[in-house]
Chains A and B, each alone.
Chain A
Amino acid sequence: MLLIPCPWCGPREEHEFRYGGEAVPAPAADNDDRELARRLFVRSAPAGPMRERWYHVHGCRRWFPLVRDTTTHELTAPPEARP
């Protein structure tokens, strides 16, 4: 189980959280089919550090960013993840 550093509550067990994945800009009204498909369905999945969002659903109920290495599951809080 991951021990996730919530910027407001401190380290808490993973099952208190919901995974939000990568944050991407919303599709624009004038996107063509190819661009729309990319925005809707394609997320980056790098082998290494990945910036993603988590939601502390059974805690403070706030969203926050986290950097997690997808090959080791090592977690680092990005500087802006501060209360």
Chain B
Amino acid sequence: MPDRSEFPLWEVFVRTRGGLSHRHVGSLHAADAAMAVQAARDVYTRRMEGVSLWVVPSAAITASDPGDAAQLFDPAADKVYRHPTFYTVPDNIRHI
């Protein structure tokens, strides 16, 4: 029997109430998904913090590299025309 083998890590997402998205709240160790949900309930929703839980194996998450942040996100800064405030519309034009 695999004594002392560490439980895998899970990321926990909570929907705080109906109509909102699930939001990442933290992580925990559990042997399997069912235990992860049970533990997430105990660790992250003891005070009515949520109405729904997701657990995802941490190993299944692919993250962007912080070193690529400039390349990934900066180009958006010079595309101001993607925002409505870029366009001038006369004051007398309504509902636009």
The answer to whether A binds B is no
Q: Chain B residues in contact with chain A, CB under 8 A? A: none
Identify the A interface with B (CB < 8 A).
Answer: none
